[in-house]
């Protein structure tokens, strides 16, 4: 018997870069479940399965309303047998048995805790688990050698695993702005990553730095880092120099990986707490930060001090020459799935290679220039999707 209220059949295009995905998600129960399975696959070195779950979740995120019946899903792309089974399970039993058993599994819990350490990826976590290390306490007592990133990650574990707020991102933006304009007047910074997509919290803060005159940006990162270090804003940093020209030997159309080759800095900021700061003196964040950093005495164990006046925040800085700026901006705005889908669309639908540096047309055998994100979407034959609708 047909139900009295007919639910519409949804229809969405199959690439995430063809869709508008806002932060308003009407199917969080389903997408949370599929995202958890994606995360588990990624942590288990099963990237193929991870992407499949991410794509399925992204399709549900793009729906204009909550799914009311399984029949509405027929004809939707990217919903494989496995994802449909998970959805049906939630539908019929209120929860997916696979998701629930993953959540409580010792292995998943250990992978989550260990990869929560900055500098620890799935491979390292897996090795430690095989050696019987399941938590931070066991890691500290294991005698494992940690690299500098991992030591900093362990030291600031609680702070780094606490979401960064939009207000904190803005405070850091002011600091980076001041650093950049002090060492190279005219240089520009832009907040990228999740905050550019309108998210209210993030796991880090991402910035792209450039200068309107090509070439002036060369060597900028070490100067910015020195400035930040001298002002006491950095708890950890690792700068990698630009290696884009060296990589040209890899040949166009065959980028070695999705990693780009910009001059970049992965860092942990020491951000002075802002709670006593009213909205009226928000223009003075940098001044107040400087004072707070100068006043603070370093305790033996920084994270343990109960009323310390700062917190650790992960910050990514990337420097791009202006000629590649549009590509870098598009590449660093995310979401990760949206980026992956753009590259897949470029390759399989257009015969082009997209990276955070350039767009290469394999048929015309030439690079396609762009000075804005809009131009890149146009080259790709895609409708422009603004950052706030790239939350796939």
**Catalytic annotation, residues:** 204, 206, 316
Nearer to ligand 8DG, 195 or 227 (CB): 195
Per CB under 6 A, does 227 bind ligand 8DG?
A: no
Among 65, 259, 351, 364, binds ligand 8DG (CB under 6 A): 259
With H, G, I as helix, E, B as strand and everything else as coil, classify residue 146.
coil
The residue written with tokens 């095989």 in the block is 130
Q: How far is the CA of 87 from the CAs of 13, 38, 92, in angstroms? A: 20, 14, 9
Residue 119 CB, shortest distance to ligand 8DG, in Å, is 14
The binder of 263, among ligand 8DG, Mn ion, none, by C-beta within 5 to 8 A per type, is none
Report in angstroms how near the CB of residue 80 gets to ligand 8DG at its nearest.
Answer: 24
Residue 339 within binding range of ligand 8DG, rule CB under 6 A = yes
To 10 degrees, what angle do helices 28-43 and 47-61 make? 170
The strand pair at 310-319 and 205-210 is best described as parallel
Widest pairwise Cα distance in the chain:
73
| Concatenated DSSP letters of 217-279 | TTTHHHHHHHHHHHTT-EEEEEEE---HHHHGGG-TT--SSS---SEEEEEEEEEE--TT--G
Work out how close the CB of 368 gets to ligand 8DG at its nearest, in angstroms, rounded to a whole number.
18
Whichever of 87 and 164 has its CB closer to ligand 8DG, that residue is 164
Report residue 296: phi and psi, to 5°. Answer: -65, 135
The site partner of 267 among ligand 8DG, Mn ion, none (C-beta below 5 to 8 Å per kind) is none
Residue 42: name its binding partner from Mn ion, ligand 8DG, none (Cβ under 5 to 8 Å by kind). Answer: none
Q: Which is nearer to ligand 8DG, 128 or 332 (CB)?
A: 332
Whole-angstrom distance, CA of residue 376 vs CA of residue 354: 9
Q: How far is the CB of 253 from ligand 8DG (least distance, A)?
A: 16
Q: 199 — alpha (psi -120 to 50), left (phi > 0) or beta?
A: beta
Among 202, 255, 272, 387, binds ligand 8DG (CB under 6 A): 202
Residue 99: partners with Cβ closer than 8 Å, 6 or more residues away: 33, 36, 37, 86
Q: Where does this chain touch Mn ion (CB under 5 A) — which range of 104-112, 187-195, 321-329, 368-376?
A: 187-195
390 contacts 21 by C-beta, under 8 angstroms: yes
Residue 218 in contact with ligand 8DG, rule: CB under 6 A: no
| From 118, 269, 332, 345, residue interacting with ligand 8DG (rule: CB under 6 A) | 332
**CB-based closest residue to Mn ion:** 193
Interatomic CA distance for residues 215 and 322, integer angstroms: 8
Segment near ligand 8DG (CB under 6 A), from 95-103, 149-157, 193-201, 366-374? Answer: 193-201
> Phi/psi of residue 269, each to 5°?
-85, 150
Q: Which of residues 343-382 bind ligand 8DG (CB under 6 A)?
A: 356
Q: Which residue, 316 or 349, is less far from Mn ion as judged by CB? A: 316
Interface residues with ligand 8DG (CB under 6 A) are: 193-194, 199, 202-204, 206, 259-260, 331-332, 334-336, 339, 356
Interface residues with Mn ion (CB under 5 A) are: 193-194, 202, 204, 206, 316
């Amino acid at each position: 018997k047909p139900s009295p209220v007919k639910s519409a059949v949804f229809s969405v295009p199959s690439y995430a870069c063809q869709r508008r995905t806002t932060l308003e998600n009407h199917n969080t129960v389903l997408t949370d479940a599929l995202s958890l399975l994606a995360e588990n696959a990624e942590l288990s070195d099963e990237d193929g399965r991870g992407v499949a779950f991410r794509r399925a979740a992204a399709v549900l995120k793009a729906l204009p309303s909550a799914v009311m019946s399984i029949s509405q899903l027929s004809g939707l792309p990217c919903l494989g047998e496995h994802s449909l089974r998970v959805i049906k399970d939630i539908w019929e039993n209120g929860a997916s048995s696979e998701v629930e058993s993953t959540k409580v599994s010792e292995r998943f819990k250990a992978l989550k805790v260990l990869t929560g350490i900055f500098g620890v990826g799935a491979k390292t976590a897996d090795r430690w688990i095989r050696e019987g290390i399941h938590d931070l306490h066991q890691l500290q007592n294991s005698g494992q050698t940690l690299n500098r990133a991992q030591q900093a990650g362990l030291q600031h574990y609680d702070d780094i695993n606490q979401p960064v707020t939009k207000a904190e991102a803005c405070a850091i933006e002011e600091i980076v702005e001041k650093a950049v304009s002090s060492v190279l007047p005219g240089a520009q910074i832009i907040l990228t990553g999740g905050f550019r997509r309108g998210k209210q919290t993030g796991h880090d803060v991402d910035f792209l730095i450039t200068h309107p005159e090509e070439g002036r940006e060369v060597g900028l990162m070490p100067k910015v880092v020195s400035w930040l270090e001298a002002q006491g804003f950095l708890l950890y940093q690792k700068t990698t120099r630009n290696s884009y020209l060296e990589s040209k030997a890899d040949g166009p159309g065959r980028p070695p990986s999705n990693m780009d080759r910009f001059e970049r800095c992965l860092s942990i900021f020491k951000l002075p707490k802002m709670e006593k700061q009213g909205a009226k003196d928000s223009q003075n964040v940098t001044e107040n930060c400087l004072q707070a950093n100068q006043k603070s005495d370093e305790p033996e164990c920084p994270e343990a001090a109960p009323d310390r006046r700062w917190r650790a925040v992960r910050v990514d800085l990337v420097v791009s020459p202006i000629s590649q700026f549009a590509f870098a901006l598009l590449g660093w705005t995310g979401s990760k799935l949206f980026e992956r889908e753009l590259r897949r669309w470029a390759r399989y639908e257009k015969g082009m290679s997209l990276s955070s540096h350039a767009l290469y047309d394999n048929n015309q055998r030439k690079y396609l220039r762009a000075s804005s994100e809009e131009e890149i979407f146009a080259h790709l034959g895609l409708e422009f999707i603004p950052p706030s609708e790239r939350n796939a």
